[in-house]
Chains A and B, each alone.
Chain A
Amino acid sequence: MSTDSPPTELAQKPELATGDVSGGAPEPHDAVSVAPNWKLVWWRFQKHKLAMFAGYVLIAITIIAAFPGFFSTQNPVQSITKGSFMPPQGIQFWDNGPAFFTYEMEGKRNARSLRMEWVINEERRIPLRLFGEGYEWKFLGLFPTRLHLLAVVNPEVDAPINLLGTDRLGRDQWSRLVHGTQVSLSIGLFAVFLATVIGIFLGGLSGYYGGLTDMVIQRVVELLQSIPPIPIWLALSAALPRTWSVVTTYIAITSILALISWTGLAREVRGRFLVLREEDFVVAAKLAGCGQMRIVFRHMAPTMSSHIIAAVTLAIPVMIINETFLSFLGLGLRPPAISWGVMLQEAQNLQSVALAPWLLLPGVAVIITVLALNILGDGLRDAADPYH
């Protein structure tokens, strides 16, 4: 059942095929019969409300990851020595009427422990506004701007707000979290992209040609899958020179993650190929004289794509967690790079967690993102086979 060969008696009514896609329910019965594969998948996916919700959450996270400067309130790398371990500051919305402010935090250094101790000063209010001015950042890395989603009204007088508190060096956690989202999410995406390219290529070769090619590739896959990946990741990342720049390390870590994770996708692709190779429409295409490339890309690929998209979606959260592991253990990205794992490094021991539990908040970001990706992936996988 390829997309370009609908049953002939229904193909005479093409106007029904252009059913209302965005609106959801495929009402006329005939629309179902002539709809292309991706449309059937989409209709089925929409019925999965939880997966739709996860999709919206992921869109929001992606927007944040695309413009971290806009959503942050302070420069994420700027450290204020006097502002270490400040607890999260809440926003107040009500003060005998609608209001928008936060209370000032007053810090005193404890003479004994030399730690900063913070109390809320309810006497002084710091007015806030949406779309205010703050530190300068570059829109898409190109155009300098000072616009932020949330900012204090008088930046000259008032201290900036720390929505999620500050870390050991007095850096704003929220701004770091937002910037970390960009790094952690993109590393997951790039690593999966790389793994997918390798996986589809080798899995496709293996499944389409079979025979000796298949055997060699399958043995390599089995070998790689029988090696526990975590020690290898650790050893490889530890071998990266400390002198490398942030960008080089980023690329290296992405490649290391992808290098060992393509096997699952290769297996998935190969399995699909093996199933499809025997299908009637592939045999028909062959008899009709289609070239190999045309059979693979025009006839087989569209039927497989939904399965591959589902497998890829389920692979991203694994990558995100792995990057977090590596950076958390100090072998992945290193400061000054900001990722969720790098941030969680600050919470590595009991002392700092007991002192400043808000240092664990980046972990909550990891959980939410991974949860959403898993639910979305499961929804896609269920929808991937709309004829079932």
Chain B
Amino acid sequence: MFTYILKRLLILPLLMFVFSVVAFILIQAPPGDFVTSYVAELAASGSAMDQRQIEALRELYGLDQPAYIQYFKWVSRLLVGDMGFSLDFQKPISELIGQRLLLTVILGLATLLFTFAVALPIGIISATRQYSFFDYFFTVLNYIGIATPTFMTALILMWLAFSNFGITITGLFSPEFANAPWSFARVVDLSQHLWLPMVILGLDGTARLARILRANLLDELNKPYMEMARAKGMSEWALVIKYPVRLAINPLVSSLGWYLPLIFSGSLIVATVLNLPTIGPLLLRSLISQDMFLAGTIVLTYFGLAVIGTLLSDIFLAWLDPRIRMEAA
């Protein structure tokens, strides 16, 4: 188990290096450098920037030097925890991201828990009661869940809540808590707002995971060991939970590897519609205003979340399934 985790951990720096290069290429993708476009934008709005300030910025990011030196400057500052400065917001990037990152992670984990809490029972019932009303009902629901873009669900729910109850269901906090420091009351307020984006975000994943579990469980249910256990007089539910579900759940856990990153980046769209204070809307704004170093840092943050998510799912799977940890070690 230890060697397995160590092996996984050793790949991390390599992955993060590749990802930082990708993020840097994305920063470089727009034509022209961002200081020039920022100065042009300022000039268009009637204000100007001190020539010395412009020079200082160019120097800081090494804009007149070759790309690999710019990359090196950017990464070496990131490594010591200096994310740089957002021109658009006139604030340090770490200050902009910090609080929002925490909320992104909270929303992601809540969605994950919701998904599993709902997908497991649905998958088990649909498989054990195949072709029953339940099964058909959830099959239909699954298809619709997968076909509906998350922002549509968000828009429709927003509209229904507004037109029927006259309430606006945006944001993660009530106005009085939006900028308040963390307190018990603020956590309670967050939990009252969190459930809706959580459900919207988890709908698609719940549908997929329930279908995967159903298919896997159906394969297991016809195996001879089931007959054997029944012949011994085991009760049906104890039997199902104890043997086939434990086997069928493995692919579900390995799907965490792609599902968790998907939740994090998928929350971007829902967060934009529902106006949530996560890093998603920030990325969107920075991309539109071409504040590329802010954008690059957020993209890299998403990559980092994805890597951590994959790592956690690998470890969890190894802990759950002895075959995997034996094979790897």
Contact = CB atoms under 8 A, between A and B. Distances in A.
B267 to A, nearest CB: 10
Given A228-B264, A230-B268, A232-B299, A238 B151 contact: no
B155 A239 contact: no
Interface in A101-147: none
Contact of A374 (B29, B147, B151, B155): B147
B310 A231 contact: no
Contacts of A324: 149
A273 B269 CA distance: 37
Contacts of A325: 149, 151, 269
A245 interface: no
Contacts of A350: 158-159, 162, 168, 170
A371 B147 contact: yes
A366 interface: yes
Interface in B121-161: 143-144, 146-149, 151-152, 155-156, 158-159
Interface residues of A, number: 38
Interface string A341-365: 0001001101001100100100100
A12 interface: no
B15 A236 contact: no
Nearest to A353: B159
Contacts of A238: 30, 287-288, 290, 295
A226 interface: yes
B260 to A, nearest CB: 10
A231 B298 contact: yes
Given A321-B149, A347-B155, A363-B155, A231 B299 contact: yes
A231 B155 contact: no
Interface in B7-65: 15, 18-19, 22, 26, 29-31
A354 B22 contact: no
Contacts of A367: 144, 147-149, 152
A321 B153 CA distance: 13
A310 interface: no
B258 interface: yes
A227 B302 CA distance: 9
Contacts of B257: 226
Given A239-B30, A329-B284, A360-B152, A370 B261 contact: no
A375 B262 CA distance: 23
B30 A227 contact: no
A276 B152 CA distance: 42
Contacts of A226: 15, 257, 261, 306-307, 310
Which residue of A234, A328, A367 has the most chain B CB atoms within 10 A of its CB atom?
A234
A347 B156 CA distance: 10
B269 A370 contact: no
Which residue of A231, A235, A331, A348 has the most chain B CB atoms within 10 A of its CB atom?
A231
Q: Which 7 A-B pairs have the closest CB atoms?
A: A239-B29, A238-B287, A228-B265, A230-B265, A235-B26, A370-B147, A371-B147
Given A231-B303, A234-B268, A363-B152, 14 more contacts: A223-B18, A226-B306, A228-B264, A232-B26, A232-B299, A317-B147, A328-B151, A331-B287, A350-B158, A353-B159, A354-B163, A367-B152, A370-B146, A371-B144
11 contacts: A227-B303, A228-B305, A234-B268, A234-B287, A235-B26, A238-B287, A325-B269, A366-B147, A371-B143, A374-B147, A375-B143
